[in-house]
């Protein structure tokens, strides 16, 4: 009898997810059945924003959902993505751009979806000590202190001096479709520096066409050593690798991504569409566990962050010194050595609806892919919206949220108003250059950006 009930529950949930006739039409939360797959392997990169996975494991939130999870660090983002596609991994801590790029066939072709955003913010741009000293005379200061945020205009004369000597100016980022790449390019372009185009139609995927700055891929843990060796002069990466530059006295974080785009989306939970279709209950339960972890990380004004930083410092998670991780995880951020400033929202895991998979977040990443040439041809607005909806899955998120509310583990106030939510944030103006972003009008947004592709290719 129990096996029959489980089969009925699984079939009902699968029908909800396939047809998207979930709680909006039913008016109540679905009764999520037993997980179809209990033993899961999830991949991650050694960054502090993998914290929801570590906390869900350590606090037994996975086990509460009948899931027995193994967390496996991956060598780099490509290995991680390949692991999800080939089934070696059931899901992963992913760059927000990865499911989108894979689904549209840029780099790797596979239908990857995300039912959950893992965090907001969490990155910074760091330059070497010598580059920082060259930048300082061009940065406004008051009483001997740098006025923030720092514009890339201060970097422009440094780049020009390199070019005058016949030298390229090299910077690193973690992956071509990473938030880090797009944030670095956004910051440079806002300061009048051209970061270069991708031209896949010409067979050029280097991203350096017409570039003032040569941007290349470096795995996150290797960033400090690569800069120290002089191969790159700066980089865009998540924590703890910006604070590591301070700790090792080899570089200076110039600007955080919170200052580039306040409360920007960062990592997501990525799984194949096939996995979700075959394991709908498992997928919902996985989201439930991670939602609880996100809330734990943010609750009581980050009261749990010290404990989280100690957990993340373990070698099988991030493996950096506790003090380095705590510099940003506990509400502060160190810029120049000794200049520790309050940045309580440097890492956000739950508040501000950080976990909701907004279509408008997906559209922004797609506009940046087009802006820099990774999407080779112009697309109409409907294409952006349809692509976002094929990858971002708020239906699964809502089922998980309503289950948690019904169980008394969370309240309706913890989540967006599902009755009125259409998946698009209000127009966002919290960008470094003040240019507003309306996810409903992607092509109008692209037209508003001075540097970048619009209707034509380079």
Q: Please state the domain extents for the chain.
A: 2-121+266-335+343-357+393-414, 123-264
Q: How far apart are CA 304 and CA 400, in angstroms?
A: 23
Residues linked to residue 93 through DSSP beta bridges, in sequence order: 269
Q: What pLDDT score was predicted for residue 31? A: 77
Structure tokens at 417: 């108003």
- Return the closest-CA partner of residue 273 out of 433, 135, 445, 87: 87
Q: What pLDDT score was predicted for residue 12? A: 37
Q: What pLDDT score was predicted for residue 343? A: 93
Q: What pLDDT score was predicted for residue 114? A: 98
Half-sphere exposure (CA, 13 Å, Cβ side) for 253? 33
Structure tokens at 321: 């010194």
Helix axes 305-312, 280-302, angle to 10 degrees: 120
Helix, strand, coil abundance in the chain, percent, nearest 5: 45, 20, 40
Q: What pLDDT score was predicted for residue 58? A: 98
Helix axes 97-104, 381-391, angle to 10 degrees: 110
Structure tokens at 236: 């865009």
Q: What pLDDT score was predicted for residue 456? A: 74
Q: Label residue 166 exposed, middle or buried (CB < 10 Å: 0-12, 13-18, 19+).
A: exposed
DSSP for 179-209, please give it.
HHHHHHHHHHHHTT----EEEGGGTEEEEEE
Q: What is the pTM assigned to this prediction?
A: 0.93
Residue 50 near residue 445, CB atoms below 8 Å: no
| DSSP label at residue 426 | P
Please give the chain's pLDDT, 458 residues, in tens.
Answer: 333 333 333 333 333 344 433 333 333 345 799 999 999 999 999 999 999 999 999 999 999 999 999 999 999 999 999 999 999 999 999 999 999 999 999 999 999 999 999 999 999 999 999 999 999 999 999 998 999 999 999 999 999 999 999 999 999 999 999 999 999 999 999 999 999 999 988 888 999 999 999 999 999 989 999 999 999 999 999 999 999 999 999 999 999 999 999 999 999 999 999 999 999 999 999 999 999 999 999 999 999 999 999 999 999 999 999 999 998 999 999 999 999 999 999 999 999 999 999 999 999 999 999 999 999 999 999 999 999 999 999 999 999 999 999 999 999 999 999 999 999 999 999 999 999 999 999 999 999 999 999 877 76
E strands present in 118-169: 120-121, 123-128, 141-142, 145-146
DSSP for 233-288, please give it.
SEEEEETTHHHHHHHTTSEEEEEEHHHHBTT-B-EEEEEEHHHHHH-HHHHHHHHH
Phi-psi region of 181 (alpha: psi -120 to 50; beta: other; left: phi over 0): alpha
Note the CATH architecture for domain 123-264. 3-Layer(aba) Sandwich (3.40)
List, in order, residues 6 or more apart from 248 with CB less than 8 Å away: 224, 228
Rg (C-alpha) for the chain, rounded Å, is 22
Note the CATH architecture for domain 2-121+266-335+343-357+393-414. 3-Layer(aba) Sandwich (3.40)
Q: What pLDDT score was predicted for residue 3? A: 35
Q: What pLDDT score was predicted for residue 4? A: 31
Q: How far apart are CA 411 and CA 424, in angstroms?
A: 22
């Amino acid at each position: 009898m129990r096996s029959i009930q489980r089969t009925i529950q699984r079939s009902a949930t699968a029908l909800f997810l396939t047809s998207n006739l979930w709680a909006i039409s039913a008016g109540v939360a679905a009764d999520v059945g037993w997980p179809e797959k209990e033993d899961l392997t999830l991949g991650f990169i050694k960054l502090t924003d993998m914290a929801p996975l570590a906390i869900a494991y350590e606090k037994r939130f996975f086990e509460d959902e009948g899931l027995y999870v193994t967390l496996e660090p991956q060598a780099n983002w490509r290995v991680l993505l390949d692991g999800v596609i080939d089934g070696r991994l059931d899901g992963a801590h992913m760059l927000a751009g990865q499911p989108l790029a894979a689904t549209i066939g840029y780099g790797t072709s596979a239908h990857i979806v995300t039912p959950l955003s893992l965090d907001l913010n969490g990155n910074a741009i760091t330059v070497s000590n010598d580059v920082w000293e060259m930048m300082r005379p061009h940065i406004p200061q008051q009483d001997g202190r740098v006025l923030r945020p720092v514009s890339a205009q201060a970097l422009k004369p440094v780049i020009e001096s390199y070019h005058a000597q016949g030298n390229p100016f090299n910077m690193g980022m973690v992956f071509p479709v990473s938030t880090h790449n797009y944030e670095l390019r956004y910051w440079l372009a806002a300061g009048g520096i051209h970061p270069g185009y991708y031209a896949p139609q010409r067979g050029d995927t280097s991203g350096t066409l017409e570039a003032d700055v040569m941007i290349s891929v470096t795995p996150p843990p290797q960033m400090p050593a690569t800069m120290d060796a002089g191969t790159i002069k700066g980089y865009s990466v998540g924590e703890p690798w910006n604070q590591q530059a301070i700790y090792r006295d080899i570089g200076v974080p110039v600007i955080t991504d919170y200052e580039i785009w306040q409360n920007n989306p960062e990592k997501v939970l990525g799984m194949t569409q096939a996995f979700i279709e075959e394991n709908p209950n498992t997928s919902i339960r996985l989201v439930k566990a991670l939602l609880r972890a996100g809330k734990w990380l943010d609750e009581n004004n980050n009261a749990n962050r010290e404990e989280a930083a100690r957990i993340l410092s373990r070698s099988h998670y991030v493996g950096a010194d506790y003090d380095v991780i705590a510099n940003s995880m506990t509400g502060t951020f160190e810029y120049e050595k000794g200049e520790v400033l309050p940045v309580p929202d440097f890492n956000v895991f739950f508040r501000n609806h950080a976990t909701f998979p907004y279509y408008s977040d997906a559209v922004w990443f797609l506009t940046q892919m087009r802006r820099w040439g990774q999407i080779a041809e112009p697309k109409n607005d409907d294409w952006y919206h349809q692509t976002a909806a094929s990858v971002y899955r708020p239906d699964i998120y809502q089922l998980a949220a309503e289950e948690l509310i019904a169980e008394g583990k969370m309240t309706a106030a913890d989540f967006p108003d599902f009755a009125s939510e259409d998946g698009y944030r209000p127009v966002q103006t919290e960008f470094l250059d003040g240019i507003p972003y309306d996810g409903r009008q992607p092509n109008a947004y692209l037209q508003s950006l001075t540097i970048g592709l619009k209707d034509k290719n380079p």
